[in-house]
Chains A and B, each alone.
Chain A
Amino acid sequence: MKPVPFDYVRPGSLEEACALLAEDADARVIAGGQSLVPMLAMRLARPARLVDILRLSELSGIRNGDSRIVIGATTRQATAEAHPLIVGKVPLLKIVMPWIGHAATRARGTVGGSIAHADPSAEIPLVAATLEAEIVVQDVHGQSVIAASEFFVGPMVAAIPLGALVREIRMPVWTQPRIGTGFHEVNARHSDFAFVCAAAQVGLDDQGRCTACAVGVGGLGEYPIALKEAAAVLIATTLDEAAITDAVEAAMAKVDVFGDLHASADYRRRVGGVLARRALIDARRSALDAAQ
């Protein structure tokens, strides 16, 4: 399983990288390679040139933005997992990290790589969709900001314009006094891509009423989706189980799901709902625990 022949170039700057992408429609970006290289090995990806951005300092690092945490695209997943800004301010990303691949793939794989790969059941895209993150793409003309809900458009298809690359991911920071998170996935083996997964983040006020809610499900179909209606309905409730169940059931009845060898459409819809419910219940509990 050897890739097709390609040229390899390692630009010294982001500007140079964008120029290379602009001049060659058959050029592709490579960073950690954990998602891309298998595609190359199977000859499903057939670039004429690989532009290696892994060592561009402009693309790495995690910083405090304006009510957001900004994650450079080439930040390793393992780095993000342990970073104090993620641990402290993007707890939903923190809790999914151990579920992603294996230590060896997280050491090398990047946050931006997972986002760009856009696997419908991947954890980082799910968090981005759930929290309504923004993805910043850059090309020779400059930057543009794409909402997560518009970024993931199909299975393994991200709305990255031709000639552009993912520059950074901006994860919203919640400021509620009590924040809790929950995440569940089902797979045949630990660390496989999930059949279906669900993530939830909630904010509670001092009376335990929900003031902010986000819940998303991955693995259902074409891309991870935020269940916005369900989240909206749960605001101002105490996130009791009945309210959660009703909200999730109503939302799941409306989503498009697909079936394949690993899981039927019925399974995905039903279990997606189960996991979303559990994630919300866990989020509520962890928000209450955090307050103690």
Chain B
Amino acid sequence: MKVELSVNGGQRTVDIEPRKTLIDCLRDDFGLTGSHAGCEHGICGACTVLLDGEPARSCLIFAVQADGYEITTIEGVAPAPGELSVIQDAFCETHGMQCGFCTPGMVMTATAFLKRNPQPTRADIVEAISGNICRCTGYGQIVEAITLAADRLARANMPRGDQG
């Protein structure tokens, strides 16, 4: 079955079985292996992508259902080759990862979250990432990364003197 998907700003058409999930289509057919399949039953969040800017578990969507949305994967986050988004850089600054397997899903969730809630409390952050399981970090440095990113995003458009 043919479907046309809009991924990271580009249109891609693919002919696949209806039972193929979006995560498998992204990885196998589009070579976008940055999103990961950790459980295939919608709990771990490693497959998280954005649909129209909202986090979604791509293992719970069939590719044939995913037309008509703007799909953003981790490959669509960095502003240019060799560069990092503010959020990605913050994750590197605080070492908000170890093995990196949950990280793309975490970054997608964080990216959507900080747009919606640019001045979160720690409790807000903890709640926001509660659907992304990490087995390496115990979450502490991930929360620090998102806190740092929120701060840096807030300061990004401030005149130097106002940055405190």
State the CA gap A7–B64 with chains docked (Å): 11
B60 touches A37 (CB 8 A): yes
Which residues of the other chain, B, contact A191 by a CB distance below 8 angstroms? 130-131
Which residues of the other chain, A, contact B1 by a CB distance below 8 angstroms? 8
Which residues of the other chain, B, contact A172 by a CB distance below 8 angstroms? none
Task: List chain B positions with a Cβ less than 8 A from chain A.
Answer: 1, 17-19, 21, 24, 40-42, 45, 48, 51, 54-57, 59-62, 64-65, 68, 109, 113, 127-128, 130-131
Task: List chain A positions with a Cβ less than 8 A from chain B.
Answer: 1-8, 30, 33-34, 37-38, 40-42, 50, 52, 54-55, 101-105, 107-108, 190-191
Chain B interface, DSSP helix/strand/loop, else mixed: mixed
Q: Would A4 and B19 be within 8 Å (CB), given that A33-B65, A191-B131 are in contact? A: yes
B41 touches A1 (CB 8 A): yes
Which residues of the other chain, A, contact B54 by a CB distance below 8 angstroms? 104, 107
Q: List 5 A-B contacts (CB under 8 A).
A: A34-B60, A41-B40, A102-B45, A107-B54, A190-B130
A42 touches B55 (CB 8 A): no
Q: Would A52 and B65 be within 8 Å (CB), given that A6-B19, A104-B45, A104-B131 are in contact? A: yes
Q: Would A103 and B131 be within 8 Å (CB), given that A5-B17, A34-B60, A108-B60 are in contact? A: yes
B56 touches A108 (CB 8 A): yes
A38 touches B60 (CB 8 A): yes
Which residues of the other chain, A, contact B41 by a CB distance below 8 angstroms? 1, 37-38, 41-42
CB distance from B16 to the nearest CB of A (A): 10
Residue from B24, B61, B109 having most chain A Cβ neighbours under 10 A: B61
B131 touches A33 (CB 8 A): no
Which residues of the other chain, A, contact B59 by a CB distance below 8 angstroms? 37, 41
B55 touches A3 (CB 8 A): no
A38 touches B42 (CB 8 A): yes
Give the contacting residue for B19; candidates A2, A42, A190; CB below 8 A. Answer: A2
B65 touches A105 (CB 8 A): no
CB distance from B44 to the nearest CB of A (A): 11
CB distance from B36 to the nearest CB of A (A): 14
Contacts A30-B65, A37-B59 known; 6 new A-B pairs at CB < 8 A: A5-B19, A34-B57, A104-B48, A107-B51, A107-B56, A108-B61
